Structure 1
Amino acid sequence: MDHLVQLAADPTVWAALATLVVMEVVLGIDNLIFISILTNKLRPEHQAKARRIGIGLALVLRLGLLGTVAFIVQLTSPVFSVLGHAFSWRDLILLAGGLFLLWKATTEIHHSVDPAPEKATGDATLGFAAAIGQILLLDLVFSIDSIITAVGMTEHVPVMMIAVVTAVVVMLVAAEPLSAFIAKNPTVVMLALGFLIMIGMTLIAEGFGAHVPKGYIYTAMAFSAGVEGLNMLARRRRA
């Protein structure tokens, strides 16, 4: 308790907490976009439940990983080398997650552009268990990336826990409005899938050791979203 009181009285800890909360919320956008797109393919009565389970799993994974911070930090240690380039377990996880995102986003784009006759009727195109499994896989990838980012910004586990819980609560609040917005705007779905491809490529680049500043990624996403917003406004005016 004395340690927590000391942390609460330290202005640098509050500054680190504010920065980390913003960072965790921004990193959670990727996770939330994927969950929203995936759960919108379920039957309407299962969508909200799947979103809550997916975001709940994200919270459980993040808090669980925080309890093994020493192990998570070791994931950045090289385990083998290929052609002179060392790969860690974190690199392999990011590579797997990036490849999965590329496959998933490309598949969804194909289904959107050229839907199969049996999938064009508005029925569910994904099973509940399959959706939860895919959400869990991406939750794990994003959680490890999130915790490693948190460890690099502060050494205080309570600060990390508060930032993680805050970010997940924001995801929980934003999940329903974001999913409804995506479902009502097909062009936004395509834009979001494009975001997932970009995020997947970023994860692959990070896995190969090429650091991609997150500011570039989210600036591009914000610019694209702004252009799409203007297009939506123009369509409404014409209608």
Structure 2
Amino acid sequence: MDIDFLSKILSIILLDIVLSGDNAVVIALATRKLNPAQRKKAILIGTGGAIGLRIILTVIAVQILAIPFVKIVGGLLLFYIAYDLLRSNGEDSDVKSGGTLLAAVKTIIVADFVMSLDNVLAIAGVADGHTGLAALGLLVSIPIIIFGSQLIIKLMDKFPLLVWIGALLIAYTAGTMVVSDQYGAYLVDWTFPLMSKIIPILFCVLLIAVGLWAKKFQTRNIH
């Protein structure tokens, strides 16, 4: 292996560490209310399904990149996931084991599918058409997502504020995806360059607003 090949491997590993952080947050948020046994099942099943989808995404990465609006739709879906996770983190802790497990698995797979667009495309770019390197990127991402989510879950149990921080991180990622889309970039060009930074922040502000409204609505219904 030459230096160029090794540098690409290190770049892919670094990309996975940085870009898989959001995915670990989603897993942590989606499974934090499950009991330990269900949590492990949800993480293993959800991550397994997510990795399967990543393989498909890697194969068709170039085609996905060329489709207009795909990141805009993905960003909006991701924002809804952030809101739904925030809303469901209410005081009512009654959960149905089967239903909650399936819901957590579904959330993990759907969110990872949406959030992995940038991840997969970045890895495909570094791999430069080398299937083996792209596959290595996928393999590296598995332990990062699984063990990263476990760590985040433990921190969230001790610091509930991290739930909000995690949801805001997802919302910011959603806004970033929107402005990085082909037509999202047109919006930035038509206005001014700072719009690429403002829109993700607006997504966070909107999430705080609807999140607080949801909490108030839940409290009103309880009382």
Pairwise TM-score range, normalised by the shorter structure: 0.7 to 0.9
Q: Alpha carbons of 1:158 and 1:195: their partners in 2 closer, same or farther (altered >3 Å)?
A: same
- The Cα of 1:137 is off from its aligned counterpart by 1.3
Asked if 1:99 is matched to 2:76, the reply is yes
Distance 1:200 1:41 in 2: 24
What amino acid maps onto 2:5 in structure 1?
V
Any idea what the Cα deviations from partners look like across 1:155-190, whole Å, max 9, x if unmatched?
211112112211222222222222121122111111
Residue correspondences, number: 185
For residue 142 of structure 1, the aligned residue among 115, 119, 131 is: 115
Partner of 1:169: 143
Q: Alpha carbons of 1:110 and 1:137: their partners in 2 closer, same or farther (altered >3 Å)?
A: closer
Per mean C-alpha deviation after superposition, the further-off stretch among 151-160 and 41-50 is 41-50
Partner of 2:62: 73
Any idea what the Cα deviations from partners look like across 1:171-216, whole Å, max 9, x if unmatched?
222222221211221111111111111111112222334399xxx9
Asked if 1:30 is matched to 2:30, the reply is no
Distance 1:183 1:123 in 2: 17
Partner of 1:56: 48
- The Cα of 1:135 is off from its aligned counterpart by 1.6
**8 Å Cα contact 1:57-1:139 kept in structure 2:** no
State the TM-score, normalized to the length of structure 2. 0.72
Indicate the structure with greater helix content.
Answer: 2
State the TM-score, normalized to the length of structure 1. 0.68
Distance 2:160 2:144 in 1: 24
Distance 1:65 1:103 in 2: 22
Q: Alpha carbons of 1:47 and 1:29: their partners in 2 closer, same or farther (altered >3 Å)?
A: same
Gaps of 5+ in 1: 1-8, 79-86, 221-239
- The Cα of 1:44 is off from its aligned counterpart by 4.4
**8 Å Cα contact 2:16-2:119 kept in structure 1:** yes
Distance 1:187 1:22 in 2: 28
Distance 1:177 1:110 in 2: 22
Q: Alpha carbons of 1:27 and 1:134: their partners in 2 closer, same or farther (altered >3 Å)?
A: same
For residue 122 of structure 1, the aligned residue among 71, 93, 116 is: 93
Runs of 4+ in 1 over 4 A off after TM superposition: none
**8 Å Cα contact 1:21-1:164 kept in structure 2:** no
Identity of aligned residues (%): 23
What amino acid maps onto 1:178 in structure 2?
I
2:65 counterpart SS class = coil
Cα RMSD over matched residues?
A: 2.6
Partner of 2:160: 186
Distance 1:183 1:204 in 2: 31
